[in-house]
Chains A and B, each alone.
Chain A
Amino acid sequence: MKSVIKGASYILAHTPDMVLHNGTTQTTERIVNPDSEYLKELPGHIRSYEQVLSYWPNQVYIGNKTPDELAAVEQPWYDKTCDVSDRYGKFGQIMPQEEFLLLMQACDVFDLVKLDSAFVAAHKPALAQNPVMDESILARIGDGIDGAEIARLVSEEHSEGLYHNGALVGCVNRAHDIDVNLSAHVMHENIVSKASSVLALLSAVHTTGISKDEVEYVIDCCEEACGDMNQRGGGNFAKAAAEIAGLSNATGSDARGFCAGPSHAMIEAAALVESGAYKTVVVTAGGCTAKLGMNGKDHVKKGLPILEDMIGGFAVVVTQNDGVNPEINLEILGRHTVGTGSAPQAVISSLVTDPLERAGLKVTDIDKFSPEMQNPDITKPAGAGDVPLANYKMIAALAVKRGDIAKADLAKFTTEHVLTGWAPTQGHIPSGVPYIGFAREDLLAGKITRAMIIGKGSLFLGRMTNLFDGVSFVIQKNAGSNAPAGVSEEEVKGLIAKAMKEFAATLLAQAD
């Protein structure tokens, strides 16, 4: 029996000070060219929390606006103010930096994250107001230590500073004196990833209404590695995050594949549920500090604000078939194999047209394709173009070559079967998965019948292989006949009524 998508969460954390101190574009520049104009100008291009709340793509990411609504807004978007600037959305939230630093401390179990006591006192009440936080997490936040001690740790003990509005308010200590894999820098990066994954997990529990105890397995698909010098990628961010999120019945593991990681993880989750190995699997990923301000030089040069100031995260809940929620169809899987080659034509064929051909489907049988959903507002000024659009043009060109559409219908295809990108450029975060939340709703509402999620990964960045990678899968309308035996017609009706009610509520919320 096919597994279903029970729901998804999408979260962002606004981390402007980490752009300056932890993004690799900035840390590299500080080493190579410490007196550069870029570093001098950069602070003047940082956005306020209010600005990131009213940024269109962010409101789409957390579900307060739809991709269609975004597509109707003329680009660029950085100079437009979204008419919704809520912190919370139906998929998740946009967390301010001060709360995120507290959450990082809550996620640290080795006493490595130290916060200034005044900072804790000033901001802990705000975190306590957060509807996805509970007592178990708040109880993990200590009273903090003296600011002078933090300054000493940063200057004398190689600790990585934690800053807020330019002021040193905490630090992440190294976890070992000589092991670089446990250095303060690596611990900082990993704790940020873990904390954003925890927030995504908590939000997924919140939005789907599942009980934490139902979750039996968690798969983490971020792009970080944790371990020590004897097992550098030893791993299990998944279980570490599940512990803090209170998923006591879950075990888990990490899936990696650069930006293709989330799609691999989704297929694995669906297979685990469909096989009966686990009833409820959550795929999760936190974000990446290294990519903050990645295209900052181009943004500053062109007078734009630094748009890569958000840590992203997501979680998708995959469960046994309830006869209602959209199904993951493992019979239509695209895979870029070792022998596929790296030419774009070969890549797109292997991920899009080959699986459809095997299933006897045409390109036009997929209502929406979700490839790399990078926000073009970020990538276009950096010379990388509109990434989703580039993917759609390739899919359309292949559809023409196959005879699925006429060449004259190319333009029509790239308006009907596509989405405008809204996800932050955090590698794995924009890769296919940002649409799953909306796809579930569109499928439940009968707006579409099939969506294809496409993940692609640049394996060559790890210098272990020159190969490219990617996998794809199809989410489809629930066939309805797959309700598990023993579930009465009444129960199914109840589930449908609940889903319709949820959908009506989202429509009402949008109308508001």
Chain B
Amino acid sequence: MDLENQKRVKEFAEQYGPENVVVLLGAAEGEASGLAAETVTNGDPTYAGPLTGVQLGLRVYHVCEPEIKQEFDPAVYDDQVSMMEMVLDVDDIVNEMTSIREQYCKY
């Protein structure tokens, strides 16, 4: 995850409390989603950014996961996300995200 984005996530977690923050991802595939999710839960796996060794344990989802999809107005989702839903390997993303949440999510 981009170093600047890590810094912003860390600051939001400090400002609002980690229990009040949900990180929503739009990454294009499972591995990248998993890496970003790991960064905001267990810390930066590349040991490069501000979240290195910082276990925020935030709730983190991908926009194509069913829990998030059901929160949307279906018309907006069709307009904004349905094309990507057709393109992405949603099952792979769900598996990666679920695995990371089960291991590291604290909330």
Q: Which residues of A contact B87 (CB under 8 A)?
A: 390, 393-394, 397
B84: which of A32, A297, A341, A394 is its contact (CB, 8 Å)? A394
Contact with A along B12-34 (1 / 0, CB 8 A): 00000000000000101101100
* 28-78 of chain B: CB within 8 A of chain A: 28-29, 31-32, 35, 46-48
A179 within 8 A of B: no
B79 within 8 A of A: yes
Q: Which residues of B contact A400 (CB under 8 A)?
A: 86
Given A32-B48, A33-B48, A345-B81, also A397-B28 (CB < 8 A)? no
Q: Which residues of B contact A390 (CB under 8 A)?
A: 28, 87
CB pair B29 A394 closer than 8 Å: no
* 372-416 of chain A: CB within 8 A of chain B: 383-385, 390, 393-394, 397-398, 400-401
Q: Which residues of B contact A33 (CB under 8 A)?
A: 47-48
A348 within 8 A of B: yes
CB pair B83 A398 closer than 8 Å: yes
A385: which of B28, B47, B82 is its contact (CB, 8 Å)? B28
CB pair B82 A345 closer than 8 Å: yes
A345: which of B28, B29, B46, B84 is its contact (CB, 8 Å)? B84
Given A383-B31, A383-B32, also A394-B83 (CB < 8 A)? yes
B32: which of A343, A385, A397 is its contact (CB, 8 Å)? A385
Interface range for A: 20 to 34
Number of B interface residues in the complex (CB < 8 A): 17
Q: Which residues of A contact B48 (CB under 8 A)?
A: 28-29, 32-33
In this complex, what residue of A is CB-closest to B87?
A: A393
User: How near does chain B come to A32, taking the closest CB pair, in angstroms?
Assistant: 6
In this complex, what residue of B is CB-closest to A382?
A: B32
Q: Which residues of B contact A383 (CB under 8 A)?
A: 29, 31-32, 35
CB pair A344 B29 closer than 8 Å: no
Q: Which residues of B contact A29 (CB under 8 A)?
A: 48
Whole-angstrom CA separation of A401 from B85 in the bound complex: 12
A346 within 8 A of B: yes
Whole-angstrom CA separation of A174 from B82 in the bound complex: 52
In this complex, what residue of B is CB-closest to A348?
A: B83
Given A383-B31, A385-B28, A390-B28, also A297-B83 (CB < 8 A)? no
Q: Which residues of B contact A401 (CB under 8 A)?
A: 82-83, 86
CB pair B80 A341 closer than 8 Å: yes
Q: Which residues of A contact B79 (CB under 8 A)?
A: 345-346
Contact with B along A334-352 (1 / 0, CB 8 A): 0000000101111010000
A397: which of B26, B29, B80, B83 is its contact (CB, 8 Å)? B83
Whole-angstrom CA separation of A30 from B32 in the bound complex: 25
B81: which of A343, A384, A385 is its contact (CB, 8 Å)? A343
Whole-angstrom CA separation of A196 from B47 in the bound complex: 34
Given A383-B35, A397-B87, also A345-B47 (CB < 8 A)? no
Given A29-B48, A397-B87, also A346-B28 (CB < 8 A)? no
Whole-angstrom CA separation of A417 from B82 in the bound complex: 22
A343: which of B28, B80, B86 is its contact (CB, 8 Å)? B80
Q: Which residues of A contact B31 (CB under 8 A)?
A: 383
Residues of chain B whose beta carbon lies under 8 Å from any beta carbon of chain A: 26, 28-29, 31-32, 35, 46-48, 79-84, 86-87
Residues of chain A whose beta carbon lies under 8 Å from any beta carbon of chain B: 28-29, 32-33, 36, 297, 341, 343-346, 348, 383-385, 390, 393-394, 397-398, 400-401
What would 7 A/B residue contacts be, using CB atoms closer than 8 Å? A297-B46, A344-B26, A345-B80, A345-B84, A383-B32, A384-B28, A394-B84
The 5 closest A-B pairs by CB, nearest first: A345-B83, A343-B80, A397-B86, A393-B87, A383-B32
